[in-house]
Structure 1
């Protein structure tokens, strides 16, 4: 047995790692910061919470090879007094959906993309948008797990050109000398790791 072999994590496992960083940030968003800008320029905190909720719910459907319905995101904060806990519960369901047998197999979504790559898109949002929310609300966000960053680096490489054309990613920004792997990942999605 090769003891140097790199372990391949399932998307469900990686989402569980991302969830551990996401939950404290979501629970720590103060009401007073809901109108604050975020590193994701088209969203303030309130709108980004709605977008992230939509992603977390719709990507559960994609894990089950069901049709998703991405439209305008609802105002979660206005709709639900317990929006923080609702988002946490849906994140638990997202982890379970992508941990189910067969979730990563075949293709899914309107574009029939490889299911694992689609799962990586959910992982990207649960990592990068939570970093956005942490930055926007003055919270700490420890660097994402090494395994998560490794998965996302490959996904961003593959999705980058299309994501930039469609405005999902901004143009890459300078990473800064001595940037960590996570900071390099953020920079490749168009975010300045030093954003305040």
Structure 2
């Protein structure tokens, strides 16, 4: 029996988007100033960061250049929720292109599939941050988590050196795969909310 091909990034992103979009869309304007598990972001800044990631990683899927030098306040738009949803759709489409996972991606010089995992991680972990900050629950697709676990362990040392991840959080043996994934990024999934 031959090994199955790994799931495509576009398919994983489609699943992640299906779970992320309702949480983003239903974020109340009154919650935008709330703190998040990312100390440097309130909800507004977190959403603007995620919006910026979604837009820039479309370009990276096409082996183009991304510009992370500034993060525009896209939430100043009156229809930002519709725009965000449309951009997530474009992200899924970009990473579903037949050659999106081939070669290296833009100026990052990383394997394209690794870059795809980076945006998949953001669309999973930052949506958990959003849910936690706004008192809602979030359960990612177990298939997405299963694909991310090893990749995140592999990228964690570099991500910590670049201050993208904090030190890993110790969890008890009964932790779920998603809790372990969050802990690897430096988040404590069992911390009591303030």
Q: CA deviation at 1:177?
A: 3.6
Any unmatched runs of 5+ in structure 2? none
Are 1:89 and 2:86 counterparts?
yes
Q: Give how far 1:90 is off.
A: 0.4
Q: Corresponding residue for 1:147?
A: 143
Q: Deviations over 1:57-115 (max 9, x none)?
A: 0000000000111112111222x111111111100000000000100000013231000
2:155 corresponding residue in structure 1: 159
Corresponding residue for residue 130 of structure 1:
127
Q: SS in structure 2 opposite 1:110?
A: helix
Provide TM-score, normalisation by structure 2: 0.94
Residue 71 of structure 2: aligned partner: 73
Runs of 4+ in structure 1 over 6 Å off: none
Contact 1:15 1:95 in 2 (8 A): yes
TM-score (norm 1): 0.94
Q: Count residues in correspondence.
A: 192
What is the aligned-residue RMSD (CA, Å)? Answer: 1.3
1:173 aligns with 2:169: yes
- Identify unmatched segments of 5+ residues in structure 1: none
